[in-house]
């Protein structure tokens, strides 16, 4: 996984961009195609804001904040390659999803969304990558990060347990 991390980032970005291109080139904005009627539709939406269309029209913020976050995530990933694999997977998903949506925002001024479960705002593959990555990051934080800390300082842990 360490050696192929950028392959996976690029693969997810390409998959996201191909699906978005297919939606933009075959559907009109607002068009919906029922896959499972009243449960799941493919709906073409142009999201000009952040999550749930918040910050609509604040394009500088919507470009700069993700750009900084992606830079920090890449830096952190490179500095922590020896961590548990869940950290690497979470960061590469967050990076890929962030870049996928940033490409849309920079080149088109909006993010293309298409997955519509009717009870939730419409979303895309990049959104899925960011959310799954964030979920895995939470898992890493609670399940593996503390374990690593204990391994790094066993002498201090023994000393503290003795007190």
- 84-132 pLDDT, tens digit each: 999 999 999 999 999 999 999 999 999 999 999 999 999 999 999 999 9
13-17, 75-79, 128-132, 145-149, range with the lowest pLDDT = 145-149
Does the annotation mark 127 as catalytic?
A: yes
pLDDT score at 55: 66
- Which of 16, 104, 113, 116 is the catalytic position? 113
- Which of 16, 104, 116, 127 is the catalytic position? 127
User: 0.85 exceeded by the pTM?
Assistant: no
Does the annotation mark 113 as catalytic?
A: yes
Q: Which residues, at least 6 apart from 150, have a Cβ–Cβ distance to it below 8 Å?
A: 157
Q: Is residue 148 scored above 50 in pLDDT?
A: no
Tell me how far apart the alpha carbons of residues 144 and 32 are, in angstroms, rounded to a whole number. Answer: 42
Q: Is residue 54 scored above 60 in pLDDT?
A: yes
Tell me how far apart the alpha carbons of residues 95 and 106 are, in angstroms, rounded to a whole number. Answer: 16
């Amino acid at each position: 996984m360490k050696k192929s991390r950028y392959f996976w980032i690029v693969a997810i970005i390409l998959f996201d961009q191909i699906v978005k291109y297919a939606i933009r080139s075959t559907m009109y904005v607002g068009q919906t195609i029922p896959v499972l009627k009243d449960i799941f539709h493919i709906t073409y939406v142009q999201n000009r804001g952040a999550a749930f269309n918040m910050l609509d029209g604040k394009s500088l913020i919507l470009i700069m904040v993700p750009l900084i976050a992606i830079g920090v995530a890449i830096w952190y990933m490179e500095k922590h390659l020896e961590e548990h694999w869940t950290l690497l997977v979470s960061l590469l998903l967050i990076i890929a999803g962030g870049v996928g949506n940033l490409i849309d925002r920079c080149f088109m001024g909006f993010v293309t969304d298409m997955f519509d479960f009717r009870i939730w705002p419409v979303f895309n593959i990049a959104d899925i990558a960011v959310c799954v990555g964030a979920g895995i990051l939470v898992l890493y934080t609670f399940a593996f990060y503390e374990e690593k800390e204990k391994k790094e300082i066993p002498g201090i842990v023994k000393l503290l347990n003795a007190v």
